[in-house]
Structure 1
Amino acid sequence: MAEAAAALGRQLKSDRLVKLFVGKDNDEPYLIPQSRLKEASEYFVSAIKHEGWGRDNVGKLHFPDEEKDVFEILIYFIVNGSPPAFTDQDEQLVMQKLLISCWVTADQYLIRDLQDQLMIKLLETLEGATPVWEVVRWAFMKGSEGSKIWRLFAEEAVYKTYERLPVGLSKPRIVESLEQAISGIPGGLFEFLETRERIEQDTDCSCRLRKQSRVEPFLFGSFQRGSKARMYLNVLRAARGASDGLVDDE
């Protein structure tokens, strides 16, 4: 442990700081150690490699189209190795939309470990209650066709639309809200119908929607004991002082 700490100290002493400019007209950059950025994802490895395209860009990376509140969570993860704490005091709707936005942004920059930890937290918020339709639409708007975030909220949309699963799939209880949630989103209806068909045939999928264990399909990495996603779940459990329904007790 002491050797690892000493090695990290030596690395940080010699590390170069990269300036990250986030948002438009932002003259106050975030200073992030280059080694942390390169460890976070292959995106930053490539970005740093090509940062010298233009004399004024050396040591600088620009993200003009990103939202600061979302990107700051990515920066927090890059520096600290885990996302900041999302507390029970945070409004559920606001927190779920922020988690979705952060997951999608992390997807863009290939930060898979952060995506998995955000997904664990998002799944935790869905235990025992379905999201409101506003959150479902937000996920479809922010995400992309075929993504894990679309799959997750397509399942939630099916669960909200039908009375019982899987036997109740022939009798929708509400259609208008579903139509509003996916209206104008290319591929949204197809994703919903494909998910509905999969739930009809997949016992495991309907189990998750009955709020039983169902985590792995929404993660990029391993969920075995000792994995980063599993350790993050244990951190959430410890903070709550209770178990949850995301996985069987260890």
Structure 2
Amino acid sequence: MSLPVATTDDSGGEARVLAESLQADRLIDIYVSEMNSKTKPFRVQQVLLEQLSDYFNSALQANNFVESKEGRLNFPEDDLNAWRVLLHWMFTKTVPHWDKDDEIAIDEELQNLLIDCWVLGDKYQICAFQNEVMVELLWYYSWHIGEEETFKRGVELTSSASKLRRLMAEGIVEIMEADHPHSGLDQYDGMRFLEDYIRAKEQFDEDGDNHGFAQVVFGDESEGTLEKGPGGRWKDYLVGDTLPSRAWKWDLDEREWGF
């Protein structure tokens, strides 16, 4: 279902057209994980789902699909909390954020939630959502190295050469280099991880000891922002061309990168 186009000389036309479309549009029932016919589903306007990605657009517009006829989507294998974050992001364009001023590091549960969110976005081709989540992961790992168990879980959930797999591999390399190089690689057997590890190790050696993760990813000290940054590799971790809505910048007073 395509949104009607408002003319440029119609004051407030685009907003009004969208509002009217949402009022008239049918609601789609979304059942995730353990949710069933006895529980209340997520109810989302069809037009919003169709605008979200080609996956939903195809599923809901094809009349021969049961999903389209019944106005119901079932995702029994998806993570429920990741879907909650996705729905929140659809309306606010924000995802869970770790504040570096917190006394404790981000807990493992939140790290896993962000990983699950990226995987969910990858499954349904929601690049903008993936990039918003990736920014949060990059931000956190620029301050803390992370735990190998969390990285291993990320490897298990991703395909080789994907953007998140790359980040997980780089984290594993940092941990192994700080402890015992190449130890424990056998635990990744069957995950097609060796090529990812080799690429991450080569990048680690190329960066050398003079560059921390924040400097490598975000660039050197500068007044630049995400959109007009000084360099670095942050774009290498994004999917597609959509920039995250949240931007980091160099704080001249604090002499550090921050949101």
- TM above 0.5: yes
Q: Decide whether the 8 Å contact of 2:127 with 2:239 is kept in 1.
A: yes
Which residue does 1:16 correspond to in 2?
Answer: 26
* Alignment partner, residue 160 of structure 2: 145
Distance 1:178 1:99 in 2: 25
Q: Does 1:45 align with 2:60?
A: no
Residue correspondences, number: 226
- Relative contact order, higher structure (CA 8 A, sep 6+): 1
Is the contact made by 2:114 and 2:133 (CA closer than 8 Å) also made in structure 1?
Answer: yes
Task: Give the distance between the partners of 2:63 and 2:250, measured in 1 at CA.
Answer: 41
Post-superposition CA distance 1:102-136 (Å, at most 9, x none): 10111000000000000001111111221111111
Deviation at 1:41, TM superposition (A): 0.5
Comparing both structures, which one devotes a greater share of its residues to helix? 1
Q: TM-score, normalised by structure 1?
A: 0.76
Where in structure 2 are there 5+ consecutive unaligned residues?
A: 1-10, 219-232
Matching residue of 2:246: 232
1:24–1:50 distance in 2 versus 1, CA, 3 Å = farther
Identity %: 23
Superposed CA offset, 1:75-101 (max 9, x none): 2223x1513443546843211111011
**CA shift in 2, pair 1:47/1:129, >3 Å:** same
Is the CA contact 2:79–2:116 (under 8 Å) kept in the aligned structure 1? no
**1-side partners of 2:77 and 2:33: how far apart?**
6
Within-5 A mapping of 1:66-215 = 66-78=78-90, 80-88=91-99, 91-163=106-178, 173-175=179-181, 178-179=184-185, 182-201=187-206, 203=207, 207=211, 209=213, 211-212=215-216, 213=218, 214-215=233-234
Q: 1:33 and 2:39 equivalent?
A: no
- Residues 19 and 60, structure 1, Cα contact 8 Å, conserved in 2: yes
Q: Within 1, Cα distance between the matches of 2:212 and 2:51?
A: 33
Calculate the TM-score normalised by the size of structure 2.
0.74
| Residues 114 and 131 of structure 1, relative CA distance in 2, 3 Å threshold | same
CA distance in 1, matches of 2:130, 2:137: 10
Question: Against the structure 1 CA distance between its residues 246 and 94, is the aligned structure 2 distance closer, same or farther, given a 3 Å change threshold?
Answer: same
**CA deviation after TM superposition for structure 1 residue 52, in Å:** 4.4
Q: Secondary structure at the match of 2:74?
A: strand
Letter of the 1:133 counterpart = E
